[in-house]
Amino acid sequence: MPELYQLTIKEKLEGLKNSSFSSLELTESYLERIKRIDPELNSYITVIEEEARVKAKESDQRYQAGSPLPLDGIPIAHKDIFCTEGVLTSCGSKMLANFISPYSSTVVKKYEESGSVVLGKTNMDEFAMGSSNETSYFGPVKNPWNNKCVPGGSSGGSAACVSAGLAAGATATDTGGSIRQPAALCGLTGIKPTYGRVSRYGMVAFASSLDQGGVLTKTAEDAAYLLKAMSGHDPKDSTSLNVEVPDYINEINQDIKGLRIGLPKEFFSMNLPQHVEKSISDALKVFEKLGTKIKEVELPHLDLSLPVYYVIAPAECSANLSRYDGVKFGYRCENPKDLDDLYMRTREEGFGPEVKRRVLIGTYALSAGYYDAYYLKALKCRRLIAGDFDNAFKSVDLILSPTAPDISFALGEKSSNPVEMYKQDIFTIPANLAGLPAISIPCGKHKGLPLGLQLMSKSLEESKLLRTAHHFQLNSDWHKSWPSL
Amino acid sequence: MNAMSEWETVIGLEVHVQLATKSKLFSGASTLFGSAPNTQACNIDMGMPGVLPVLNEEVLKMAVKFGLAINASINSPTQFCRKNYFYPDLPKGYQISQLDNPIVEAGFLEIILKEGKKKIGITRAHLEEDAGKSLHEDFKHLTGIDLNRAGTPLLEVVSEPDLNSAEEAVAYLKRIHSIIRYLEISDGNMAEGSMRCDVNVSVRKKGSKELGTRTETKNVNSFKFVERAIQYEIKRQVSVLEAGENVVQETRLYDSQLNETRPMRSKEFANDYRYFPEPDLLPVLIDDEFINSLKDQMPELSESKTKRFVKDYQLTEYDANVLTVDLNFANFFEEVAAKSKNPKLAANWVMGELSAFLNQENLTIQETKVDSKKLGNLLNRIEDSTISGKIAKEVFEEMWNTGSSPEKIIETKGLKQVTDSVEIREIINQALDQNPTQLEQYKDGKDKLFGFFVGQVMKISKGKANPEQVNKILKEKLEE
């Protein structure tokens, strides 16, 4: 008999419906695990214990009344980038370490409306800038599979907490791989939907044209439940897509026979570690068995992705983070001499080194005389990369690659070498630049640490990604194991 | 001024027009002026983490209407961008504005000068959000921030450097003011900051093709101050150049108390704004259908109204121009004209007596103490000879002071004109009897004394005798 936390979301919903256990019992079981396990992992910044119990009781009443909501009683966690009314929303930064949000993001509201129970807010790299969760003001997060290793980032807290069974699923955001890379490093399913599928209203901005909300879960089926709840058009977000959200849960069982999966030769000529190559070729055998066709595709401008990203993302971030000036909310330095001193010391003391580095890079890239050479050129290259995908998707339905260059690495191993850290996202960044949906699923293990593969599709084809991932999981066991904690 | 004549002035104006929307450019907060600080700033206006802008469609309509009124092209798509700078009353640390593809581009308008008409090019008009206000006076050693104004929509109208004098600049500004009032896209209230002006001035030797170094004088907020600031800058720059020195390109401010411009601290404007396209707003497509629907809604603007007034009311172009500068003024005139059936008389009264009273008490036409209906009635009493024009002025003053109707005033004060010829004859006899010497002189050929007798008759009748009848009967009498 599995423990409550080990049940899939579908099984949890059935259990709640059948009164096998109550929502309060389910919530208490998670709160107990958090108390026991999280002091070591550090995956939560805030646990909302009392409020969670209140919501769980409300959920039980709805079950008793026979009118439960779609995710009624499912305990989840929100990345601390989603504004939550009356709750600390720190974004992993000293700058917002005292910021109690006066309003809730659209994502938080949608989950409220779906009946889910929020256990707390998860740790993250400061302002979502990082690939190891080591830039958080609230301390690093440990990988549940090996506490000497990082969980990935920036959604490291969300990944670690789901992987350790401290929430049934967690929201996350992905600007260059911040959902998928931690999914791979923690052995989870992580989906970044199409840009515009999930509202960005109330999601603290890092790089507006790349940021996209999504989820981290144990399985693709769990992801279908959570993604359905958070997606949809939001009039408060002008970049939100006004298109209907398919029924991911029902469509997940549709056959994947005949789907064409493309392998970009640029990715596979990169000298991948042997265990990464092996995990991918093993996965391809499963996909072939499921009746898909594998073929090579070309994405000739792929090598531009990393440099283009590290111009566009910092440029947008440099403007998005200007509001943290010590005037209206958040951190303010003590006894400023004058206005300049207020600005300089507030930002010097309130931001960590990685955030400062990116603000400086972005400010430089947008400066008079450099704009054309950096920002404008990066925008043009971005079009080329998006064009590569348009071409590739003429002959294939999905594109497959590793999610991350390797398994997780030791805490501190890359934190003094930013470029090494940036290379963590080499496979994930292209989907953000092109605005495409992508999913990462577990596909192997090396030295006891998980490996993941990534699938990308055309815009708005999240359903196809979830379906393909689900069928893979029906024919593999990598997603089933739990770390021993 | 002779020394000046070898110099030529080149002026360009940037006019910030606050658009009269109910809610802000990118949020649902109200734009009402004068509320308690920070009561009209929502999370979006305050730049809270995670908030996003949503464009107010009403603003697009207003900007397109302005574009149509100045014969400009409308850009589609039009693009918003971020203008980055730090200031405590700029909540996000950037202002959402437009750089490339502003909504309105390449238009013009005509100003009317003594010498005739002149065409002034308008480079562009773009949308942007206003900042909040820093309050330095109310707190000791502290600055207060009021974000009520933050996010209020502005249309920044940039002219070509086609203006060559303070007079032309003011005429241009008044045309812009007239257009925004006619379109009802702004209240144009300069005192409240609904219309503000940055003035770019340079001088050069007459005949020179190259532009001189310019200065920009920021935030001048009345027609008079614009005129004075320009005049001051011209004199200053000419004297700098004549002393063999160079004009420094700089931002200045106008001090209305001292009537001078002086440089702003260099820090207040030395900025690299690092413009880039606003990623939170998609480029806005403005299709022909949208533009055409607005074309249908365009009101008659002052130029066509002037033409119509000349044609329909047989007014001079000058008079028609005076009447149409302000839409409310023009509407008031038309109401009086309709009521009185004598447009020429209506025009004279609206521009004359009424304007004098308004000016004296510094009132706008909306605040007039004599409404168009009552004024029309008064003019009808002149028309039907109940009172003379002279008495009408007396009645008007009484109307203005008491709010009473002309009929009532004429009645109670007994001002009704004497039109009974028997009665007039009696008054004339009286006047002739009282002035035998003058009568003698008149009969000896001193014709000029005719006016003297008219005056005496009017005096005896207390101005109530019908002047035409007085003329006619007096003439007969004296011919006898």
A116 labelled catalytic: no
List, in order, residues 6 or more apart from B188 with CB less than 8 Å away: B17, B177, B180, B181, B194, B195
* Residue in the block written with tokens 């400061």: A126
Query: Residue A120 carries which DSSP code?
Result: E
Pair of tokens at residue A287: 């996909």
Q: Measure the CA–CA gap between B294 and B177, rounded to whole angstroms.
A: 20
Cβ contact A204–B82 (<8 Å): no
Chain B interface test: which of A100, A242, A323, A383 (most B C-beta within 10 Å): A323
Asked if residue A467 lies in contact with residue A256, where contact means CB atoms within 8 angstroms, the answer is yes
How close does chain B come to A102, measured CA to CA in Å?
8
Among the listed residues A57, A56, A161, the one whose alpha carbon sits nearest the alpha carbon of residue A117: A56
Residue B1's pLDDT band, with cuts at 50, 70 and 90, is very low
Taking the CB of residue B407, how many other CB atoms lie within 10 A of it? 15
Among the listed residues B129, B193, B151, the one whose alpha carbon sits nearest the alpha carbon of residue B28: B151
Domains and CATH numbers, chain B: 3-292 (no CATH), 300-413 (no CATH), 421-479 (1.10.10.410)
Q: Measure the CA–CA gap between A101 and A82, rounded to whole angstroms.
A: 9
Asked if residue B79 lies in contact with residue B101, where contact means CB atoms within 8 angstroms, the answer is yes
Within 8 A of B275 by CB-CB distance, chain A residues are 366, 371
Q: What percent of chain B has pLDDT over 70?
A: 98
Among chain B, residues having any CB pair with chain A shorter than 8 Å are 43, 46-55, 82, 84, 86, 88, 91-94, 145, 272, 274-276, 279-282
Taking the CB of residue B413, how many other CB atoms lie within 10 A of it? 13
Pair of tokens at residue B122: 């308008």
Range picked from A222-231, B234-243, B271-280, B343-352 for highest mean pLDDT = A222-231
How wide is the angle at C-alpha A40 spanned by C-alphas A34 and A45, nearest 5°? 60
For residues B182-204, average pLDDT: 92
Q: What is the pLDDT of residue B468?
A: 82
List, in order, residues 6 or more apart from B63 with CB less than 8 Å away: B19, B103, B104, B125, B127, B155
Within 8 A of A200 by CB-CB distance, chain B residues are 50, 52
pTM, rounded to two decimals:
0.89
Low-confidence spans in chain A with pLDDT less than 70: none
Within 8 A of B92 by CB-CB distance, chain A residues are 322-323
Q: What is the pLDDT of residue B35?
A: 86
Query: Residue A73 carries which DSSP code?
Result: T
Taking the CB of residue B88, how many other CB atoms lie within 10 A of it? 18
Question: How remote is the C-alpha of B457 from its chain's centroid?
Answer: 44
| B209-220 as b/e: b if 16+ CB within 10 A | eeebebbbbbeb
Pair of tokens at residue B293: 């629907």
DSSP per residue, A369-407:
TTTIIIIIHHHHHHHHHHHHHHHHTTT-SEEEEESSSSS
* Residue in the block written with tokens 């798509």: B77
ipTM of this complex: 0.96
Per DSSP (E only), the strands in B140-244 are: 144-146, 153-159, 195-205, 215-220
Residue B142's pLDDT band, with cuts at 50, 70 and 90, is confident
Taking the CB of residue A435, how many other CB atoms lie within 10 A of it? 19
Pair of tokens at residue B215: 């200065």
The residue annotated as part of the active site, out of A79, A109, A218, A458, is: A79
Q: What is the pLDDT of residue A297?
A: 97
Within 8 A of A84 by CB-CB distance, chain B residues are none
Pair of tokens at residue A160: 């670690």
Q: Measure the CA–CA gap between A6 and A479, rounded to whole angstroms.
A: 12
Q: Measure the CA–CA gap between A311 and A367, rounded to whole angstroms.
A: 12
Residue of higher predicted confidence among A104 and B222: A104
How close does chain B come to A93, measured CA to CA in Å?
12
β-strands A117-122, A75-79: how paired? parallel
B142 to chain A: nearest residue by CA? Answer: A338
Q: What is the pLDDT of residue B467?
A: 82
Asked if residue B203 lies in contact with residue B249, where contact means CB atoms within 8 angstroms, the answer is no
Domains and CATH numbers, chain A: 1-485 (3.90.1300.10)
Give, rounded to a whole angstrom, the gap between the first and last alpha carbons of chain A: 18
- Comparing CB atoms, the residue among B50, B55, B276 nearest residue A105 is B50
Q: What is the pLDDT of residue B322?
A: 86
* Residue in the block written with tokens 């999930």: A198
For residues B216-228, average pLDDT: 91
Per-residue pLDDT at B266 exceeds 80: no
Q: Measure the CA–CA gap between B367 and A301, rounded to whole angstroms.
A: 68
Amino acid at A199: S
pLDDT digits (tens, 9 = 90+) for B396-453: 998 999 988 888 888 887 777 777 778 888 888 888 888 888 888 888 888 888 888 8
For residues B206-227, average pLDDT: 90
Q: What is the pLDDT of residue B419?
A: 75
* Residue in the block written with tokens 């093709």: B209
Q: Measure the CA–CA gap between A398 and B106, rounded to whole angstroms.
A: 48
Query: Residue A175 carries which DSSP code?
Result: S
pLDDT digits (tens, 9 = 90+) for B54-105: 999 999 999 999 999 999 999 999 999 999 999 999 999 999 999 999 999 9
Asked if residue A55 lies in contact with residue A118, where contact means CB atoms within 8 angstroms, the answer is yes
pLDDT digits (tens, 9 = 90+) for B359-370: 999 888 989 999
Q: What is the pLDDT of residue B270?
A: 59
The residue annotated as part of the active site, out of A59, A93, A116, A178, is: A178
